[in-house]
Amino acid sequence: MNSEKICNEVCELTKQVGLFISTEAKTFNQNVVEEKSFNQLVSYVDKTAEQKLVEGLKKILPNSGFITEEETITSEEKEFMWIIDPLDGTTNFIHQIPVYSISIGLTQNKKLVMGVVYEINRDELFYAWENSNAFMNGTAIYVKQNNQLSKSLLATGFPYYDFNIMQKYLDTLQVLMKETQGMRRMGSAAVDLAYVACGRFDGFFEYGLHAWDVAGGAFIVQQAGGKIADFSGSDDYIFGKEIIASSTNLFDPFFNVVNKNFKLKTEEV
């Protein structure tokens, strides 16, 4: 498999679908929004974008499988699996807040081998493939080398449907707000991870996420020299619904704060 060639084709497809999303944003009507479940919003834009991505990815890598947010295609286990979020930041999109993205990850035998994140409004395309550097619009990117929480800017995502362990989240946030230069909540986990990869954020953590939220961005962070784990320090961050990402230099002090406040999560839920 020519990974670089495939990644370039995926990037081109992603930009085409991104153009569709940005065009629809100009005339989007909130009356067409559906609620899949509590605070889980979707529209024809998400669904159509996903269909376009699936159709294109089938041509790029035939006989591959899909894990998608909007379930426009049945998931069937294959050697190669695309993990797709056609519009990460749907709530931002609906409310005309210009932070949303397309996120695509590719696994081979359950191992991540490619990631693409396209932040549509800034026209910034982040991508990496197995054994490559990470890139943004053709330029290599790297995580920050800062190793001090006191000099860091971190990102997170507020709980919006899973409130079972919200107090632990708030406890964690309270510590980090006091010990860092600030916290940001962008509304797109894929963008948060891409910004860690290019050094805008020193780190990112969130719980309650799905595989399609993080697969593409997590791989890009790794290829940019960063470190990823779940809140217990293991590698169950794609399907485990919790993730912490940063440079290797900052990871330990950052992880220690998150782990200390979340370590009893399993016992309480």
Verify that 43 and 83 share a domain, yes or no: yes
What pLDDT, on a 0 to 100 scale, did the predictor assign at position 225? 98
Verify that 79 and 111 share a domain, yes or no: yes
Structural domain contains residue 91: yes
Contact indicator for 128, 223 with CB cutoff of 8 Å: yes
Structural domain contains residue 268: no
CATH number at residue 86: 3.30.540.10
What pLDDT, on a 0 to 100 scale, did the predictor assign at position 37? 64
Band (33; pLDDT cuts 50, 70, 90): confident
Q: Which domain holds residue 251?
A: 149-263
The four Cα atoms 160, 161, 162, 168 give a dihedral, to 10 degrees, of 20
Contact indicator for 67, 81 with CB cutoff of 8 Å: yes
What pLDDT, on a 0 to 100 scale, did the predictor assign at position 268? 44
Q: Which of the listed residues 141, 171, 200 is the one where a domain comes to its end?
A: 141
Number of structural domains in the chain: 2
Over residues 119-145, mean pLDDT? 97
Of 115, 127, 129, 187, which is closest to residue 155 (Cα–Cα)? 187
Verify that 82 and 175 share a domain, yes or no: no
Query: Mind listing the pLDDT tens digit for each residue in 258-269?
Result: 999 887 544 444
Q: Which of the listed residues 115, 141, 167 is the one where a domain comes to its end?
A: 141
Query: Mind listing the pLDDT tens digit for each residue in 151-162?
Result: 999 999 988 777
Band (39; pLDDT cuts 50, 70, 90): low
| One-character DSSP codes across the chain | --HHHHHHHHHHHHHHHHHHHHHHHTT--GGG-EEEETTEEE-HHHHHHHHHHHHHHHHHSTT-EEEESS--S-----SEEEEEEEEETHHHHHTT-S--EEEEEEEETTEEEEEEEEETTTTEEEEEETTS-EEETTEEE-------GGG-EEEE---SS--TTHHHHHHHHHHHHHHSSEEE--S-HHHHHHHHHTTSSSEEEEES--HHHHHHHHHHHHHTTEEEE-TTSSS--SSSSEEEEEEHHHHHHHHHHHHHHHTTHHHH-
Quick check: 193 pLDDT over 80? yes
Over residues 183-210, mean pLDDT? 97
Over residues 239-251, mean pLDDT? 95
What pLDDT, on a 0 to 100 scale, did the predictor assign at position 71? 76
Verify that 168 and 119 share a domain, yes or no: no
The answer to whether the predicted template modeling score (pTM) of the entire model surpasses 0.85 is yes
Q: What is the mean pLDDT of the chain?
A: 92
Verify that 137 and 158 share a domain, yes or no: no
